Amino acid sequence: MIIRDTSFDDLKGEIEHLKEEIKFLKQNYIICDHRLTQIESANSKGKNKVDDSTAEENTLANTLNIDPKQNIGADVSCIQEGLVPTKYFGKTTHMVKSASAHVLDIKYKLSNTHIFQNKVCIPHFFFLVKNQLYIPIILGTPFINAIYPFTTINAKGFSATYKNQDIGYTFITEPISRDINALIEMKQKHVDYLQLEIFSMNTFDTLKSAKVQEKIKLISERMAIEIFVLIILVPFGIGKSIL
């Protein structure tokens, strides 16, 4: 097997290849983000707004029987407008963004709530979202912190133990966008490293060129003369005109 040194052309070719991969990944990310936005829009438009009286009729002792979904990218937990009478909410100025980076219409917060599963009661809070959720209830990062650590976790969801009781939740979507972003970042770092290597090789080759070597030689000779004059001749009062 013959092993040869990496050339400029090799590095430049690899950089171009990585840039093409990054471009492709970014395009895929945009497509995924666009599709997610379409899903959110289609599902929210298909839902009829439920008034306070209807919401009260669908509750039993102020309890909602809904399977919430976990969004590990959500900063807060959200609940769709109409599920809980607005009289239970308080005003808030908190800003919340969706998974596709759109600002949600948030004006109210539901503070005194609990999440039940397998006879487990977990205190929590929600922000009221107006017709912008394609899933009625989304559990965000604060809920994760409340039940951490997890017993199992995969692309579909996770399970945990809370007060010696097993609980489990599913993710809204598989972490496609998150994986794409991580891959883009990794490849971009590789590109930066290769560009730095090319810069170093360019600098080294420039220093080895005949023209640069000649300049270095002239500078060295000039410095040697100046040192000789300063050390040998100047003490005897001669050689100042040479400097």
Question: Is-contact 77 128, C-beta < 8 A?
Answer: no
Within 10 angstroms of residue 185's Cβ, the number of other Cβ atoms is 12
Please tell me the class of the 47-174 domain.
Answer: mainly beta
Q: In this structure, what DSSP letter does residue 232 have?
A: I
Q: What is the dihedral of CA 192, 193, 198, 199, to 10 degrees?
A: 70
Least confident among 6-15, 181-190, 233-242:
233-242
CA distance 150 to 70: 13
The domain spans of the chain are 47-174, 209-243
* Average pLDDT of span 20-34: 65
pLDDT the model gives residue 70? 46
Confidence bin at 176 (pLDDT 50/70/90): low
Q: pTM of the prediction? A: 0.37
Q: Which residue has the higher pLDDT, 53 or 118?
A: 118
Residue 119 has pLDDT above 60, yes or no: yes
Select, from the ranges 37-41, 142-146, 182-186, the one with the highest average predicted confidence (pLDDT).
142-146
Confidence bin at 66 (pLDDT 50/70/90): very low
Residue 233 has pLDDT above 60, yes or no: no
User: What is the CB-side half-sphere exposure of residue 135 using CA atoms within 13 A?
Assistant: 19
